[in-house]
Each structure stands twice: as structure tokens, then as C-alpha cells.
Amino acid sequence: MLGWYWLFVGVFTIVAIFMDRTDWVSRAVNGILAILAGIVVINHPFSALFIPATIITIAAILAIGFGVLRLYWALKEGWGSAIAGVLNIILGLLILGNPMLGIVMLVYLAAILNIVGGIATIYLAIKMRS
């Protein structure tokens, strides 16, 4: 599921560049990294059984990278994106600090991150509409 999630997020991020060209370089990098990460995880689903620390370390680094990008976007979009960025960074640091915890808790942490990110996105949509 994580691989498919990253793949779709990456594709949608790239597609969004064609609709809104502001800050296209960082969004392109974000989209490309997400697509690559998704492809790797989809092509090697059982790799987590053999080399979980490596997969989790990559996931942690990507989470931190996405968090930094979201914090950068927060300068333009508002505090909703900043919350998602901080949660991404915290998720990445937690996983880097204890990879075994990351293996066990990645699904739960990703779910929490996505729920909060969804709430922040709804807030931004309401804010942009008014």
C-alpha cells in the first residue's frame, strides 16, 4: 500500500504542476522522488522481510524530505501545510531513531499523518475558497 500511495502522490504532484506552475521545481523533485520510491516499494514488496532497516531508512529520509518541502510550502500556503510538514519530519525522525519501531508502526504513523494532512488540506481548500 505504501508503494502505491507514493506512486499516486508522485503522479498527482507532477500533474498539479501543469495546473499551477508556481514553485514547480520543488514540486517536480517531490513528485519524482515519490514516484521512484513507489516503484521501488512496489517492485520489491518482500524486501521488507529481508532488509527492513534499509527500506525504513529510505522511508524516513523521504518523510523528512517531504516535511521540509511542506514547511517551505507553508510560507506560501499557511499553517495547515506547516502542521503536515512538522508531522512528516517527526515521523521521519522517529523512524530513523528506531527502525524496528518504524517497521511495526509505519502503517499507523502514516495513517495519522494522512488524517492530519487531510484535515490541513480541507482547511486550506476552505481558506482558498473564501
Domain residues for the domain of 56 are 52-130
Domain shared by 22 and 72, yes or no: no
pLDDT at 52: 61
pLDDT at 36: 87
Q: Which of 39, 28, 88, 23 is nearest to 60 (CA)?
A: 88
Domain shared by 62 and 104, yes or no: yes
Interval 45-78: pLDDT, tens: 765 555 466 767 788 888 888 888 888 888 877 7
- Domains identified in the chain, total number: 2
At residue 33's C-alpha, the angle toward residues 128 and 59, to 5°, is: 100
Domain shared by 35 and 63, yes or no: no
Beta strands in the chain (DSSP E): none
Asked if 32 and 12 count as a contact pair (C-beta separation under 8 A), the reply is no
pLDDT at 49: 56
d(Cα 113, Cα 105) in Å, to the nearest integer? 12
Interval 99-108: pLDDT, tens: 777 777 767 7
C-alpha cell at 6: 507514493
Q: What is the pTM of this model?
A: 0.45
Q: 51-82: buried (b, 16+ CB within 10 Å) or exposed (e) per residue?
A: ebeebbbebbebbbbbbbbbbbbbeebeebbb
Asked if 23 and 73 count as a contact pair (C-beta separation under 8 A), the reply is yes
